[in-house]
Structure 1
Amino acid sequence: MVLGPGTQAPNFTLNTHSGQITLSELRGKTVVIGFHPASFTGG
């Protein structure tokens, strides 16, 4: 799946230190999603 700037991301849920958060809970707020495939992998 390729998403570009301004593209609506599919809804998903993530675990946090204080429980879970779902992307749809943040509707109307600015959200930045970062993906770093090689971070912390030694590659």
Structure 2
Amino acid sequence: MLEIGATAPDFHAESTEGPVHLYDDYKGKKNVILIFYPINNTPG
């Protein structure tokens, strides 16, 4: 788990807006907040 304020590791992912490459798309350009959650109505 990352500490609050830690640098996120570089990654590629699919999103509702298309593919995302964290460093290429955002590093040095914008602040980013990453939010991950399980699918609605699942245990946990």
Coarse TM-score class (shorter-chain normalised): 0.5 to 0.7
Q: Gaps (5+ residues) in structure 2?
A: none
- TM-score of the two chains, using structure 2 as the length reference: 0.64
Cα 1:41–1:31 change in 2 (3 A) is: same
- CA-to-aligned-CA distance 1:5-36 (integer Å, 9 cap, x gap): 21011111111344311000201211001122
Moved over 6 A (4+): none
What is the aligned-residue identity percentage?
Answer: 29
What is the number of equivalent residue pairs in this alignment?
41
| RMSD of aligned Cα (Å) | 1.9
- TM-score of the two chains, using structure 1 as the length reference: 0.65
Q: Gaps (5+ residues) in structure 1?
A: none
